[in-house]
Structures are given as C-alpha cells and as structure tokens.
Structure 1
Amino acid sequence: MTTVRVVRVVAALITDPQGRLLLVRKRGTRRFMQAGGKPEADETARGALVRELSEELGLTVAESSLALLGPYVTDAANEPGHRLEAEVFRLQLSAGVAAALEPHAEIEELRWATPAQAAELGDRLAPLARLLL
C-alpha cells in the first residue's frame, strides 16, 4: 500500500475587469498556476493568502476581499506523485491594481490570460488552474 503525499495550499483565482485570469510561474518551473502558497502553522487560510499575495505580487488585500470558492483536490503541479489540496478564493482587481502587479519572491513570470488563452497552455497549465477554468 502506497501513501499519498499531500501538499496543502491556499490559492487565489484573480481576475481583472476584462475577465482575464492572473497566472503565475514560479522560478525553475514551467507550469502556470494561481498565486498562493502553503499556510504556516499559525495562519488561517485567508491570512496565509494575504501574506502570499503580498510576498509574490506586492499586492495588499484585506482578508474580507477574498471570497471563498471552496476546497479543490487535484494532482500537484510541481511535485510528481503528490496530491494537491487547495482552499481557493476569488479576488477581482481593478484595472489600475491589475496593471501594476509585478512578480516578486519565487515568481518569475506573471501573465493575464482569457480562459481560452489559459487553455491553450496545454500541459503548461497546472492541474488546479485547469480545473478552475
């Protein structure tokens, strides 16, 4: 019997006024995904996501602006053989805030994509991102 390793994260489905999705790619990887990351032991899911968005994108948001979409389970994008358990929140940004985002920390690239453009990434789109489309 094999033990399934689980990666627990919080993630943000971020959109702009045109309905485009924000996708990020971490340094040293090839897959695009939602911004977010692993909560620390003492953090709530919302608190962890607020911290991750600040670290990864320089984005300051209030916990109250994060609307819970729910829990999602998929294969992990960058950890072969691992299952991803994600608590996903929706966040809509104004045009000005969206345009000012820049990659920070381990984020190497960010891009705004329509759902069709995201789907065109094929296997470069992380399983969770594909599920959220």
Structure 2
Amino acid sequence: MEKRIINPWQWQDARSYVQAVEVKSVESTLYVSGQTAINAEGISSNEDMKSQLTLALQNLKQVITEAGYECSGIVRLNIYTTATAELWPHFNIFQEWVALHQVKTTVTMLEVVSLFETLKVELEATVVK
C-alpha cells in the first residue's frame, strides 16, 4: 500500500490532520462504525467529555486491531459531538492518540443535536492496509 499526504498549506500540521490522503495498491479496507463511550457490557457512559473521548478512542483502537489492521492505516476519521465547545478543551487527548499511533488522516468534525442515550462523542473511521 502506498499513502501520499496532500497538504497544500502548513497550518493544519499542528492540528493532527491532513487535507487529503491518496491511497494506492490497497490490500483491503475496513469501515468502522461509530465508536463511542460504551463499555464491554454495552452500557453507555454518563461520564464527562474527557472520559467519553478517551473510551471512544480505546474502542476505536480495539475494533481496528481486532480486525487485523493498524491505527496508522486510518485514512478518514469523522468526529461527531453534541458539544464542540465541551470537546475542544480535551482535544489534546485526540491529538496525543493520533501522534502515538502515527495516524495521518483526514478529519471531519460535526456537531450534532444528539447521539445515543447520554453520549457526547462518536468516532467513525475508514482504515486501509
């Protein structure tokens, strides 16, 4: 697999995402449904945004690795949140996770009216290898 990052500007480099990723010679593609702060027993978290983001990232990694992929293969990541203003103070958790797993991905963040039960953040990814 060949990945080429397209960044015509430099401002996004400090923000943990890229403008585009071109992928050639892909062996397979994994489409990961929205991962949230739901634990192994299927119980959604009533915790704060920081805890929810942390668990959603852990769940995302677990699904990706269980499927035999690596987080570094993420080429698209959508972030859905019910409270962008509440997410921003904890965005460093996302940035640190991305750096730790060597992820160079396109990212879209959307604020939505609501998510399942009391959830505040959901992560949806496309992963290639």
Q: TM-score, normalised by structure 1?
A: 0.28
- More strand by proportion, 1 or 2? 1
| TM-score, scaled relative to structure 2 | 0.29
